[in-house]
Structures are given as C-alpha cells and as structure tokens.
Chains A and B, each alone.
Chain A
Amino acid sequence: MNHEAERYERLFLIISGLFLVGFLIVLAYTSIHMGVMLPGKVGVIEAKAGESLAAAVFRTPPFDHLGVKKIGPDDYEAVYFAQAWAFFPREIDLPVGARVKFIATSVDVTHGFFIAGTRVNMMLLPGQISEETYTFRKAGKYLLLCHEYCGLLHQTMHAWVIVK
C-alpha cells in the first residue's frame, strides 16, 4: 500500500509541477509577446530641503502639465496626480483606439490608480512615478478609482475617462 501511495504522490507532484511551469510560461508569454507590462522602475521625485513634496511634483516634468497630450497618430500621454481625495484631471476624453501611457504620482499618501473594466492597475506612492500603457478599444465612460485606503473619504476618490 505504501509503495502504491508513494507512486501516486510522485505522479501527483509531477503533474502539479508541470501545471505550475506551464502557467509561468504563459505569464512570460503575455508579458514578452503580448506586451502586457507591469509597472516597473520609472523614476523618483525628490523634494529639496524645505520644499514640500507637492511643490516638487509640480515643478518636475511631466507633472508641470497635467492632462492628455497627443504624441503620435494613436498615441497619447495622460499625466495625473493624486491627492486625498481626488485625481487631477477629473475627466479626460480619448478617441476609440487610443494607446495611452498613464503617468501618475501621489503628493501625500499611498493611493491606487485603477480603471474598472481594464487592466490599468497601479499603486501611486509619494515620491515615486508610476507608468502603465493601455489601448482603449471600446467606447464608454470608464471609472477611474483609488483602490488603496487613503483616509476618511477614500470611497469618494474617483475620476472619469471618456472614450468615444
């Protein structure tokens, strides 16, 4: 009985192991081949002595010009900052098919930057720049949410992305 059990266990672990390796290969494929990228290292914003973080953010490009900028035929850049309890800009307009690079940071606490129904999902940390690119293929009114607890009125913190 024990030998049989050992054989079954080995088989069970080998099959499970193959599944795990298979999953990892799929994940690498989505990232390398399909271009689904996690946020990575972009850059930091450093305040000078005596300067507030907010002041440092507003003098650091691209945060000196918030909002949407067209940078190619279908390419856009959308620059945001988050502050308890709002995103700026509060609403942006984009055409269907727009490939948008979202660039954002926080000036006070940790916030989330999540567009419901898409895979735009990143954390905003004070002093760190976050970046993610996404192509909007469907028209609609997309809800941009803060999905990290940031104090008393966290639940009110949202903005809109209008794609038409």
Chain B
Amino acid sequence: MTTPIVAAPDGFSLPDEQRRLIKWTVYLGFIVLAVGVLNGLDQALNYAHIDIFRFFPGMRTYYQGLTAHGVFNAIIMTFAFANGFVAMAVARGLGMKLNHGLLAASFWTILVGTLLTAGAIVNGTASVLYTFYPPLEASWPFYLGLALVVISTWITSANLFVTLAKFRREHPGQRIPLLAYMGVVTYVFWDISSLGIVVEVVVFLLPWSLGLWHGADPLVDRTLFWFTGHPIVYFWLLPIYMSWYGMIPRQVGGALFSDSVVRISFLLFLIIIPIGFHHQFVDPGVSRELKYAVAVLTFAVFVPSLMTAFSVMYALEIGGRRAGGNGLIGWFFRIPWKDPSVCAQVLAMLAFMLGGITGLMNASYTMNLEIHNTTFVPGHFHLTVGTAVALSIMGIAYWLVPYLEQKELWSAKAGLVSSWLYFIGVLIFARGMISGGLAGMPRRTAISLVPYAEPPGWRLAGILVGVGGSLMFIGAVLFFVVIAMTVLAGKRTEIADIPYSVTLVTPQTSGWEPGLDRLRYWIVASVLLCVIIYGPFLASQFPLQLNVPGFRAF
C-alpha cells in the first residue's frame, strides 16, 4: 500500500489569480538569474585572462560584476524561486488556497527590494560582494533592498503558517501532508536562520549608511552575517530536497520509501542552525574551542544530507528496476534520462556528491587552513548552489513552467542538451577552481589583473575555469531560450496536476510519529542551540565598538 504525500490526491488547483502571482514570483527569479549568469561569464573568462567585463553595459569593474553575480544568483533568484515554488507546493500539499493578500505582498516586496538593490549595484555604489563585510560601505538602497528581499520570505512564511493553521482547524487529528510539511519546515528553519542578517542589516548597516551610526563593528557584523550565511545554503537546498523527495520519485516511476525519515531529516536541519562559525575558522577574536564545537555540529548536519542521499537514491532505484533495469547499477541507466526535468535533477545530484565532499573538507577545522578563501571554495559551491540547486531549479522549471502556463514545453531535446552542457561545464570549471585553490589561488580576485607572476598551477586552473564556465553559460542560455519559447510560443495544453510522489511506509496517526508534526517543540530546541552557541560570544562583544569608519574605494 502506498500513500500520496498530498491531502487531496484527486486533484486541486490554485485560483488563477494566485497561480499568476506564483508564476511572476518564479519568473522574477529567472530574470534575475539571467542577469546573474551573464555576469558569471565575465568572471570565468577573467580567470583565463580574457577581459570582457569592461564591455558589459553598466559594469565598470570586475568586483561590480562579481557583486551582481553573487547577489542576483545566490540571494535574489533563490529567494524568489523558494517564495513561488514552496508556496505552491504547500498549497498543493494541503489542498488549500493561500492567503491572497500575503501572496501579493510577498511578490511586490521582493520586486521593490530587487529593484533597489539592483539599482545600487548598477550605479556602482554597492560593489561590496554578496557578503558586504563592513567597513566596506554600500549606499542605503542596497541594504534597504536586501532587507525587503528577506522580508518577502517572512511574508511567505506567514502565508504558509496561516494556511497550515486553517488546515489543522479543518482537519483535526490529521497528519500534515508530507509535501506541505517539507515546505513549512523549510520556512520555519529560514525564519530563525535569517535573524542574523536581518539584525545586521536593519539595526547596524542600514542606519550606518544613512549616517545614524558613526562606524561598524567588523567582527560582530561578520558573525551576524555568518549566523545566517551558513544556514542560507539549506534555504537554497531544502526547496530542492522537496523536489527530490516529493516529486522526482514520481517522475522516475518510483516511490519514496519512508515518510518519517524525510520529516526527521528536515527537523535535523531545523535544529542544527548555529554552525556559521565554520566560515570564521581563521578569524581573530573567536576562540578555538568554539571553532571546534562548531566543526562537530557542522559534521552533524551532514547526516540529514546523507539520509536524503539514501532515500532519493532508493526512489530512483525503484523506478529504474520497474523499468526493467537489473544488477547492481543497471537500474541507474533505466530511469527516464530523456525527460529533461529528470535528467537535469539527477545530474544535479551527481554534482552534489562532489559538492558535499568538498564541503566537508571546507568544514574540516585545521584542513580549512589549506583552502580558506582560495578558489577551492567557489569550486565547492558551484557544485552545490551553482549546480545541485541551480540545475535542479532548471529541471523543476521544465515541468513547473508548462504547469503554470498550461502550455507544452517548447523543446525537451534543447532542455537535455542544456543540462548536459551545464553539467559537463561545471565539472571542468570546478576542477579548475579546486586545483587552483590548492595551488594558492585566492578567490574574489581579478586574476587577469594581478601584478605578480602567477605561481605554478594557476594558468591551467584559470583556463579550465574559463572553458568550463563558458560551457555552463551556453547551457544556461539554452535553458532561458527553452523557457522563453515555452512562455511565448508553447502549444496550449491541459496539465492537471504537479508530479507529487507516494510513500511506501505510511505516516502513522498514533505512536511517536505525530510528534514530528508538533513543530513548536522542535523550534524551542533549535532556538536553544542557537543561544548556547551564539549567546556567550555575542554577550562578550558588549559594549559594541561601532567605531570603524566606512570604506568606499570600490
């Protein structure tokens, strides 16, 4: 017996006006991604000593382009996609429409935030990269825009909570359907995680850029940034896990094995939030004991990803064997590789294995000394957020855009070519970045402009980055062509539902399992752990030294 992971398996569709808002939120993400990707090409080529960033419209320096690349791709695109995709999935999971006012408010807030931030980046007053470490000081629209972008995610959470509360009132004693559960926990997790960056921006940086504070406290601001800056990667990843757990099994003709395992893995992400200090392993002013404790916690958060690897792989195996695949790995070749949505996401999973391993290396306490702030790090995160997340979003788009538009995908073949190009590209790109990092190549540096002779190993690394990055760029362009043509010229068709999966082990309504749905206890555990890790450190920083003056030479 199997159980659907949604409440209304017979079908449910959102009212048109809500579907439209979700569509525009997701499209905003794609538009921003297009700009970000364009600004990725010049970075990659720069490593190969080909200078094209001077010719970019509105872009004057390498670092301005790098800021656009990071802020647009990693912050705005991912948030817009989550706001649209997760809200839609939760509504579908519960079989209930969302609160329309909140949905609209979220869209307009992220739109205004995006315009403010983009304006500041384009006019050159915010070339501070997506980490915007003070005392680098951007103009106020940059900070205000970012704050609005984050607030749009809070508005989306409010929407999810209101809708879930209504579901619980109308269905007393029922478990939260798995698809909705994953979405809600993702946003609860993010609400707690985002507090660091919101305090940093709203309490310190925005007033500072308006002249209300005289300076910044670099260590405290960095710490607040990384409080959010590590968990943010799970806010990128968890919507993708929703697809890998909740949709991919169905798309490959398989099934999800256990309902509880999925819930436990999401709860583990919720509880293990305070691990941002592992980005500060080589910072002064933070004790070694705290750094080691956080290394342990960071290793712990690897566990839910390993659980995901097992469950998703098993779902793929069920599908592959049903399609006639045999042997130890024969099933892997029988999953529907010709489906661009499946192909993109399975390739994304393969890249994620390498991303996970390199991530573990970054988090490895003393080993971090070898690679901190070298190109090893972007090598790692282009495999994770740059591929596991970005390529999965492209894969999801291959069914999501047709579903939202009620139109056929313009060309499945082009989608397949796009995915393979992107995947092969990132492998070459990451090989270059990682080897360059091990040879001492610094990240966030205009390598084509360095005044010294490059040490051995940098040249080859830079060429691989240029070649791989160009392939990724061509793959991404092809993706945008497929999506644009689907929207503009796709054939009308009727797509009744999203591809949600079923679980083999049914969720229980008695015993310990319903405890997984009592979110408030897990929230308390999460907040407690944050206080234990961050409380003593932040308390020791008082009174704050807001005395380092701003720096604007960029």
Contact = CB atoms under 8 A, between A and B. Distances in A.
A38 B365 contact: yes
Nearest to A11: B310
Contacts of A36: 366, 369
Main secondary structure of the interface of A (DSSP, over half): mixed
B368 A154 contact: no
B448 to A, nearest CB: 9
A95 interface: no
A30 interface: yes
B286 interface: yes
Contacts of A147: 372-374, 442-445
Interface string A22-50: 01100110110000111111101011000
Nearest to B553: A151
A122 B284 contact: yes
In this complex, the member of A8, A41, A53 whose beta carbon has the largest number of chain B beta carbons within 10 angstroms is A41
Given A13-B310, A109-B551, A39 B282 contact: yes
A119 B373 CA distance: 12
B331 interface: no
B284 A155 contact: no
A36 B372 CA distance: 15
Nearest to B286: A41
Contact of A109 (B136, B302, B451, B455): B136
A62 to B, nearest CB: 15
B554 A114 contact: no
A146 B441 CA distance: 11
B256 to A, nearest CB: 11
B416 to A, nearest CB: 31
Interface in A48-89: 53, 84
A8 B61 CA distance: 53
A123 interface: yes
B442 A125 contact: no
Given A20-B299, A112-B373, A28 B504 contact: no
17 contacts: A8-B310, A13-B307, A20-B300, A23-B299, A38-B366, A39-B282, A40-B286, A47-B547, A108-B551, A110-B222, A114-B442, A125-B219, A125-B222, A126-B218, A128-B218, A148-B373, A151-B553
Given A13-B306, A41-B287, 17 more contacts: A23-B360, A23-B364, A30-B365, A116-B441, A117-B440, A119-B370, A121-B282, A123-B282, A123-B283, A125-B284, A131-B284, A143-B440, A143-B452, A145-B442, A148-B373, A154-B444, A156-B449
List 9 A-B pairs, minimum CB-CB distance, nearest first.
A116-B440, A147-B442, A119-B369, A128-B284, A147-B373, A130-B284, A27-B365, A149-B444, A155-B446
